[in-house]
Amino acid sequence: MKKLFALLVIICMAGSLSAQDLNARVQVLSPKIATTNKRIFQALETAMKDFLNGRKWSVDQIGPNEKIDCNFLLNVTQWDGNSSFSGELQVQSIRPIFNSTYTSTVFSINDKDVDFTYTEGQTLDYNNTNFINNLTSIMAYYAYIILGFDYDSFSRYGGTAYFANAQNVVVNAQTSGFKGWKAFDSNNFNRYWLSENLSNKTYIPLRGFIYDYHRKGLDLMVDNADMARKNIDGILPILTQLDRTRVGATLPTLFFTAKEDELVGIYSGAPQAEKQAAFNILMQADPSNGPKYQALQKN
């Protein structure tokens, strides 16, 4: 009986260890902080990593080889020497491409409104019903955003439930007094507007594009590059329909931040006529990155 009980415990532990969703790499930097004792930043890094990787964020059972690779880089720019921190958080998630070793950046952002309190050894608490701590709310928010983008890239609008969870984090945090959770914080480019865009019908075409681009484009690239590129040709005009002048137009900007170099790479080997057509569309859709797209003008 004791052996059976021990076996059941081991099985349960193995299941819990493999049930988490994120493979988050966390780095905390503090080059502007004048202190020789960096132990607090190392403790913070470990606490963030454990929080992100130790929780179950999705409703699905995700195997160890299916975890979502993502990066969290916190650059601490201010610290009061005690428990108050301010800085910027770079978050990036990547997705594997079928039958290849290539990974595609799906989401990338630099959040400049990261203010929080933390003491060494503190338990990082979070729940979905109310605001507890700004650091855990920010991490939970981006965990849901990462899942949403990943699910959207594998199933059309598959990330809707996770984007709704992220929106719930925003609602709970709006009365906290911390920046980044309200419409007019940080020049209209923040967590509030990203969640708003992801639930706004205006940007539904972009979410559909993300699915077609990955599943009917990148995932076919190894087996049939010409067909994959032709499929992307067919949906590329959708990008010209996105209103980037709208207040809080965060999602289109982040899409091009993640994909601008990849789009150039996709078309760099295309026939000249196809390359020129892609260039014309990308210049219209994303003129701010025009210098990068100029590479498509070269033979």
Taking only the tens place, the pLDDT of each residue in 217-271 is: 999 999 999 999 999 999 999 999 998 888 889 999 999 999 999 999 999 999 9
In the block, tokens 């930043």 appear at 41
Residue 223 lies in a domain: yes
Reduced to 3 states (helix: H, G, I; strand: E, B; else coil), residue 11 is helix
What gap in Å lies between CA 131 and CA 138, rounded to an integer? 11
Give me the pLDDT at residue 135, please: 98
Name beta bridge partners: 108.
Answer: 92
Residue carrying structure tokens 């900007």: 253
Q: Which residues, in sequence order, are CB contacts of 183 under 8 Å at separation 6+?
A: 192, 193, 196, 248
**36 belongs to a structural domain:** no
Q: Is residue 218 part of a domain?
A: yes
The phi and psi torsions of 254 (rounded to 5 degrees) equal -70, -35
Q: Which stretches of the chain score pLDDT less than 70?
A: 1-19
**Domain with 273 in it:** 203-299
Please count the structural domains in the chain: 1
Give the Cα separation of 111 and 117 in Å (integer). Answer: 17
Beta carbons within 10 angstroms of residue 171's beta carbon:
12
136 within a domain of the structure (yes/no): no
pLDDT for position 9: 39
pLDDT recorded at residue 10: 38
pLDDT of 19: 54
Mode of pairing for the β-strands spanning 22-29 and 68-79 = parallel
In a domain, 180, yes or no: no
Note whether residue 168 is domain-resident: no
Whether 198 and 163 have beta carbons less than 8 Å apart is answered as yes
The CA–CA distances, whole Å, from 41 to 52, 85, 96, 137 equal: 17, 10, 31, 19
The verdict on pTM exceeding 0.75 is yes
The mean pLDDT of the chain is: 92
Backbone angles phi, psi at 218, to 5 degrees: -60, -40
pLDDT number for residue 162: 98
pLDDT the model gives residue 124: 96
The dihedral sign for the CA sequence 22, 193, 160, 288: negative
Strand-strand pairing, 103-117 and 22-29: unpaired
Model pLDDT, residue 2: 42
Does the residue 213 lie in any domain? yes
Q: Quote the pLDDT of residue 186.
A: 78
pLDDT number for residue 54: 96
Q: Does some domain include residue 239?
A: yes
